[in-house]
Structure 1
Amino acid sequence: MAYIIGMDGGGTKTSYAVSRIDHVSILGTELEGPGTNPQMIGFQQMAERIAIKLEELLESHRIEKHQVKAICGGYAGVGRANDADTAHDALKKKLILRGFHKNVSVLIKSDLQIALKGAIPPEHQQGMLIISGTGSNSAGLLKDGSMVKSGGWGHLLGDEGSGYAIAAAGLQAVVRAYDRRGPATVLNEYILKALGLTNETQLVTYMYQEQRDKSEIAVLAKVVTEAADSGDAVAESIIKKAATDLADHVHSLHLQSGEYNEQTIVTTTGSIFKYATSVRTAFIRELKERKLGIWTPAHGTPVEGALKEAAESAKSLEKRR
């Protein structure tokens, strides 16, 4: 029996899954391990962490290393070609030293590439994926298999429509209301309560003296969506802008592709699309009104996208032999 492995690696965690080549479907459950972003831990440490977890994964399924024909991983921190090459060489060398077959196919993709591969239903040759979590990003699959991108610039240059952007807009609305430079909003009450603060002036200490990570700030997006759901006009305007910003990513992909139309599928993923019903609803409305495409739930996970890539690589190698 021949097998393939798919991986989804981020800064804080990495997911691993194994599948048979002839029927791409995750066997058992995914295995999780520590983060594998090479920009954070280095390429050698990345390879070491992956190799250890792959051995654990195979042992749990009683699969021999020589039975693995292809391995594909999508990782944060390998978006540039030279980084992907360095990661590939480090991992391939490490795997061979640990007993994997010298001809095992090792593919290094970006986390965005495997997310897109997993999200697009198999019956479609093209489509778009819009991501909104702590940050925001987007990608589009073209008929020839290539990819176009929009976003992913980080919170200082972009991340429009993201959890961070929604939270930041909510915080700004709070201080504007406090100064009477902006309209009154229940966000003052909601956000202060969520942070355990008693007045708006304490926000300065909370935001600047504690050096908050952007993910800590982004969790306040949930508070903004709750305020919007309660009918608060200020919060509703923040949600509407987030939806418009995310739809702008879709428009950008249209302009870059030259082949998308109002029938092209648009899939979504990320925490904002999962829990913020108001954002998702407003986003779908934007797609329809601007004739940017048809929304559909993501078909599969990034790990499943990595498994698809691994299967295609293994079958391609087999044909050439």
Structure 2
Amino acid sequence: MSANPFFVGLDAGGSTTLLLAECEECPGRIDRHGPAANPQRVGMDQSVQVLSALVKKTLRAQRPVDHLSVCAGVAGAGRPDEQQALADRLRRTLGDDARSVSVEVVHDACIALDAAFGAESGLVVIAGTGSVVLARTRGGTARRVGGWGHLLGDPGSGYAVGQAGLRAVAEALDGGADTILRPRVAEEYGVDERAALIHWVYQDRPPLQDVAPLVIEASADGDTVATDILTAQVNELVRQVEWLLGETDDVAPRIALLGGMLQNEHYAAALRRALADRVPDWSVEVLRHEPVVGALRRARRLDE
């Protein structure tokens, strides 16, 4: 290992990017945050710009750096060719900031596995803006189900829950089941009739995941429609866990839950109940560390 190595972990999720860094001479870990860097949403150029700018800003007070080791867990970079292309561009962009640079780009779910279990076996369920289920077998093989994005999947995610809530509002406007979501959406966003809802969704294009807390709160307050939405969404997400476990019996029986949706206790309790029903012998815990901790651990292992 070089005389002055610098290690950087990045978690580029659907909404924000987090950085965690450390070095032998640093008094403590350095943390920063920046805008979203999902290349499928902001483009490859913007993704590279966001990630490299965070690293460069962090390095300003640390020069000279002999070796820079970076691991970035990036939402929207699920294919190996995408990960390699992003890693290559980051390596070139950061080439002037250290004498040597190592960069690894992985799907953001991979760093969650490392944050939860280190290099050992286990399964993570992520429910944030999107959703995905990822496991590492005892033999070290990664298995993934879901993570298709909001157009094709992501059950149990903020986007899916919010979208389902607005569908319920639209159905109520059409004469369907009444729900307290209708007046709450009207109060929060000022839409309480067909034309306004259509304009808001299709012209203003709001982030539908922002509606998810209204759905969860309505469920907690006893609204049947909202509860049905929440139950259906978490059941679909747990079904993906079952699909993954149907492919292999070589995963340690422990599950870590993480993502912005898990910050709401009502949602977390619903997901826990669904898991207890479908995989009753598995331990289930909310992740104790931020996923970016896993990225930093992987950065340290890059040159071992």
TM-score normalized with structure 1 length: 0.82
Residue 278 (structure 1) aligned to one of 252, 266, 269:
266
Residue 16 (structure 1) aligned to one of 12, 15, 19:
19
Cα separation, 2, equivalents of 1:134 and 1:11 = 6
**Conserved? CA contact 1:18–1:26, under 8 Å:** no
Instruction: Give the C-alpha shift of residue 284 in structure 1.
Output: 0.8
Tell me if 1:237 matches 2:228: yes
What is the correspondence of 1:282-321 to structure 2 with a 5 Å cutoff? Answer: 282-291=270-279, 293-314=282-303, 316=304
Cα separation, 2, equivalents of 1:6 and 1:294 = 28
Cα separation, 1, equivalents of 2:117 and 2:165 = 35
Deviations 1:235-261 (Å, cap 9, x if unpaired)? 111111122112112112211233247
Cα separation, 2, equivalents of 1:26 and 1:195 = 46
Matched residue, 1:268: 257
Instruction: Give the C-alpha shift of residue 285 in structure 1.
Output: 1.1
**Conserved? CA contact 1:192–1:200, under 8 Å:** no
Helix, strand or coil at the partner of 1:30 = strand
Helix, strand or coil at the partner of 1:125 = coil
TM-score normalized with structure 2 length: 0.86
Where does structure 1 lack aligned partners over 5 or more consecutive residues?
317-321
**Conserved? CA contact 2:15–2:129, under 8 Å:** no
Helix, strand or coil at the partner of 1:15 = strand
Instruction: Give the C-alpha shift of residue 309 in structure 1.
Output: 0.8
What is the correspondence of 1:159-198 to structure 2 with a 5 Å cutoff? Answer: 159-180=154-175, 182-198=176-192
Helix, strand or coil at the partner of 2:60 = helix
Tell me if 1:257 matches 2:248: yes
Matched residue, 1:113: 110
Matched residue, 1:319: none
Cα separation, 2, equivalents of 1:291 and 1:37 = 32
**Conserved? CA contact 1:239–1:278, under 8 Å:** no
Where does structure 2 lack aligned partners over 5 or more consecutive residues?
none
**Conserved? CA contact 1:17–1:26, under 8 Å:** no
Percent identity (aligned): 29
Deviations 1:29-55 (Å, cap 9, x if unpaired)? 412234444453435x65555444323
Matched residue, 2:151: 156
Matched residue, 2:44: 42
Instruction: Give the C-alpha shift of residue 199 in structure 1.
Output: 3.4
Deviations 1:35-81 (Å, cap 9, x if unpaired)? 444453435x6555544432321234x35311x35221222343222
**Conserved? CA contact 1:186–1:232, under 8 Å:** yes
**Conserved? CA contact 2:183–2:192, under 8 Å:** no
Matched residue, 1:53: 54
Helix, strand or coil at the partner of 2:222 = coil
Cα separation, 2, equivalents of 1:99 and 1:311 = 18
Instruction: Give the C-alpha shift of residue 221 in structure 1.
Output: 1.3
Cα separation, 1, equivalents of 2:165 and 2:49 = 42
Deviations 1:257-296 (Å, cap 9, x if unpaired)? 33247xx111112221112x22211211111122252211
Output the amino acid matched with 1:17.
Answer: L
Cα separation, 1, equivalents of 2:23 and 2:92 = 24
Instruction: Give the C-alpha shift of residue 228 in structure 1.
Output: 1.1
Output the amino acid matched with 1:212.
Answer: R
Cα separation, 2, equivalents of 1:176 and 1:245 = 21
Cα separation, 1, equivalents of 2:49 and 2:183 = 48
- Alpha-carbon distance change, 248 to 26 in structure 1, aligned in 2, over 3 angstroms: farther
- Alpha-carbon distance change, 175 to 127 in structure 1, aligned in 2, over 3 angstroms: same
Residue 10 (structure 2) aligned to one of 7, 12, 25:
7
Matched residue, 2:80: 81
Output the amino acid matched with 1:284.
Answer: R
Q: Rg bigger for which structure?
A: 1
Helix, strand or coil at the partner of 1:73 = strand
- Alpha-carbon distance change, 179 to 127 in structure 1, aligned in 2, over 3 angstroms: same
